[in-house]
Structure 1
Amino acid sequence: MKAEWYTSSGNVREQNEDSLGVFYGDECLIGIVADGMGGHAAGEIASKMALKLTSAKWSEHSGTFTKEEAEMWLNRLVRSVNLRLYEYAETHEECRGMGTTFAVALCTNEFIAVSSVGDSRIYIWKQGYIVKQITEDHTFVNELLKSGQITKEEAADHPKRNILMRSLGTEPTIALDTSVIDWTDCSHLLICSDGLTNKLSDQILSEIMEGTMNLREKTEMMINEANHAGGEDNSSVIIISKDGDGEKL
């Protein structure tokens, strides 16, 4: 396995409230994208805390995972990070109301366990196919879409598309959204903040993935394309390849 990542504050915002990282273990790795929200610097604090707490939890684990263990580990992670963020916000007046999205993928050689909160997304892609979103957006607009009140085309430009129904740190408990899928040869994961996916369609993401560039160059192209399309928001992406660029973990 191999992973590359890239992030940008975009063309408008002075600071980048996205935090992302990849951490390796015993024949496995974990990738995280967190998109912070809150007044002043609180969003940046929330996303950085989520990343730091995940790194600390990951460092405590050794050995491999079964599917059941991976799902349980992610569920415990999401609960613990959520509570720590909530408690921090409650005891720091300047951070009241802060929160963050959270998209995390735990990858082994056989399977992927994913969990998400908010509207940061995880996609899976394989050559010759269109990227497929494997997480669900926890947004007001997605609720309208699921209930049939609006179409997918209307959702893309809806004025309330950024209203989150769920985020880490804003409540003491959190609903869990964790799943496990098989990890097939020559497939890739994309973990993205909404600053990227609001600007690049599934078709464009797939076309970039089909290119002959290496993983690092593909992450840079995605971010550059999002900035060329306006870049009003921070944007981040991690690409994880099962087979790497001709190498394996």
Structure 2
Amino acid sequence: MKAVFMTDQGKIRQHNEDNGGIFVNKAGQRLAIVADGMGGHRAGDVASEMAISNLKEYWENTAVIATAEAAETWIRDHINMVNSKIFQHAQNHQECEGMGTTIVAAICTNRFTTIANIGDSRCYMSNEMGFKQITEDHSLVNELVRSGQISKEDAEHHPRKNLLLRALGTELNVEMDIKTITFEEGDLLLLCSDGLSNKVKEEELVEVLIQEFPLEQKASRLIELANLYGGEDNITLVIVEFYDSCESGE
């Protein structure tokens, strides 16, 4: 498989509180992550950096993940460990009070991918069957949509659009959604912060992803579009392209 990570400060924000990356374990399997930090006094970047650095360390010291059950257990256990670390750090450092981060993470093997998310950073799948959002936002507005109180169109302009119901590190215990999916050769996985998904419509995401461009060019184009449409937020994404090959190969 091939993968690319890219982040951009955007056009308005003074700091980039997003973080992420693509990390490889001892078996050559990849863990892709996007985290969107939040909190006063720049503490959002502390939370997202702690999430990424700790998961990177855990993953790089992990042996082969052979089954979906093992992947789901690994991602649940280690995200919970990171949640505790961020929460305790905030408790012990007054300037970090209330900090937290969204997270969307995908363990990518050569047979399946296991995806976990907390907050409103998203994972999409693009393939010959179409383009589909894999994750559900843990936000007030999404709950209003799910319950039929407002439409998807209303949600795009709702004044409380950014209010999250779950975040990593804000409470001692956190709930996450975890699911495992299979893929075909050539399928694409897109992980992104809301700095991309709030600005670029799904039709345009698809239009870029299906082009015969290198992954780096697709990632650059998506960030370019988010900035073109205002760039009010940090913009972060990972694109993974799947191939039927050995774990350590491209």
What TM-score do you get using the length of structure 2 for normalisation? 0.95
The answer to whether 1:44 aligns with 2:45 is yes
- C-alpha distance in structure 2 between counterparts of 1:144 and 1:64, whole Å: 37
The answer to whether 1:35 aligns with 2:36 is yes
Q: What does 1:1-249 correspond to in 2, within 5 Å?
A: 1-25=1-25, 26-127=27-128, 129-243=129-243, 248-249=249-250
Give the paired residue count.
246
- C-alpha distance in structure 2 between counterparts of 1:218 and 1:57, whole Å: 29
8 Å CA contact retained: 1:36, 1:45: yes
* Structure 2: segments with no counterpart, 5+ residues: none
Deviations 1:178-200 (A, max 9, x none): 11111222101000000000001
What do you get for the CA RMSD once the two structures are aligned?
1.4
Percent identical pairs in the alignment equals: 42
Deviations 1:64-123 (A, max 9, x none): 321100000011011111111000000001000000000000011110100000000000
Q: Residue 131 of structure 1: CA displacement?
A: 2.1
8 Å CA contact retained: 1:19, 1:33: yes
Q: Residue 212 of structure 1: CA displacement?
A: 1.7
- C-alpha distance in structure 2 between counterparts of 1:140 and 1:159, whole Å: 11
8 Å CA contact retained: 1:130, 1:203: no
* Structure 1: segments with no counterpart, 5+ residues: none
Deviations 1:30-86 (A, max 9, x none): 100000000112000000000001011112211232110000001101111111100
8 Å CA contact retained: 2:184, 2:243: no
Q: Residue 27 of structure 1: CA displacement?
A: 4.2
What TM-score do you get using the length of structure 1 for normalisation? 0.96
SS of the aligned residue for 2:95 comes to helix
8 Å CA contact retained: 1:27, 1:109: no
- C-alpha distance in structure 1 between counterparts of 2:241 and 2:249, whole Å: 9
